[in-house]
Each structure stands twice: as structure tokens, then as C-alpha cells.
Structure 1
Amino acid sequence: MTTGGWINMLLSVGFVTVLFAYCIVRVIKGPGARKEHGLARVEPIEKDIADER
């Protein structure tokens, strides 16, 4: 393989590896690592259990 081929392969594999590691870190850290925001309110399915929530 030529030098250009090695450089292209290393850059491609390196980019995918870094992107994979970044995604794994974001999943492990969870939403606390980013700006806190409130979730939408969840309505109960049954009206008779509305007071329990």
C-alpha cells in the first residue's frame, strides 16, 4: 500500500474510533453532563389515578 493509502486509512479509522468513543462517553455520562432542562409533563392514562401522580 502506498503512503497516501496508509494516511487515508489511518485518518478514516481514527475518525470513526474517536466518534465511537465520543458517543459512548455521552451515553455513559447521561443528560446531567449537558444543560439541565425540564421534561414534558406525562399525563396519566386513567382519570381515576390522576391524583396519584
Structure 2
Amino acid sequence: MSNMPWAVYRCDRIQRGQTPQNEVFVSGHLTPGEAMDEANRLKAGDRSNSYIVGAA
């Protein structure tokens, strides 16, 4: 894992109202904004997975 308080996780593709499944740690970040920016960049290049931000 990471010593950063915020993380980006890759998971199976999710739709509105679904719970993320099969989450895998991708990267750690100091702020939620940094993590969200990273998740958005990853999502733009990979439409087969979803990327979520959460506590590391």
C-alpha cells in the first residue's frame, strides 16, 4: 500500500448505484484533488474499468 492518505483504485466497470467490486490499489496521493485528477486521467484512457478515489 502507500503512506499517502488518499488513493486511486481500479475496479470492475460500475454503473450508477452499483458498489465497486474487485478493487486494486493503483496510486497514493496527498490530497483528494490530486487523486481525483489521476482517476480522471486513467478513466479517459481505459474505458473497460472504473477508477475510484478513497482512503488509502
The TM-score range, normalised by the shorter chain, is 0.3 to 0.5
* Alignment TM-score, normalising by the size of structure 1: 0.33
Structure with more of its chain in strand, by fraction = 2
Please tell me whether Structure 1 or Structure 2 has the larger radius of gyration of its CA atoms.
1
Q: Which TM-score applies when normalising by structure 2?
A: 0.31
Which fold has the larger relative contact order, with Cα–Cα distance below 8 Å and residues 6 or more apart in sequence? 2
